[in-house]
Amino acid sequence: MKIAIPVDDKSMETSVCQSFGRTPYYLIYDTESKESVFLDNSAVASQGGAGIKAAQTIVDSKVSALLTPRCGENAADVLKAANIKLYKTVNASIQDNIDALNDGKLSLLEDIHPGFHGHGG
């Protein structure tokens, strides 16, 4: 299964990023081959709609699941329309989250926030 995780750096030792739409990079990881690819998030500098643009990047990567601490409503709608499952990360370690997913210990992300939509910072 191919999964995506928002990450702070292009390294398996980096942390899970707290922001899905504004993360600098995405890790695309294949749980069977253990192959990892890091993608630049082109939406990181967007004035607005970063979550939707980021979600489209994930959809285009043909993943089955996204592991993230949180996700905005508009991005979640794009991901769910593509049948991508959203899982809530358990801590900042990439490997811990991959292991938890493989062990069936990650819960589905239920608390989708409305998103910021250009209001505030």
Note the pLDDT tens digit of each residue in 3-56. 999 999 999 999 999 999 999 999 999 999 999 999 999 998 888 889 999 999
Q: CA–CA separation, 55 vs 11, rounded Å?
A: 21
Determine how β-strand 2-7 pairs with β-strand 65-68. Answer: parallel
The predicted model scores a pTM of 0.92
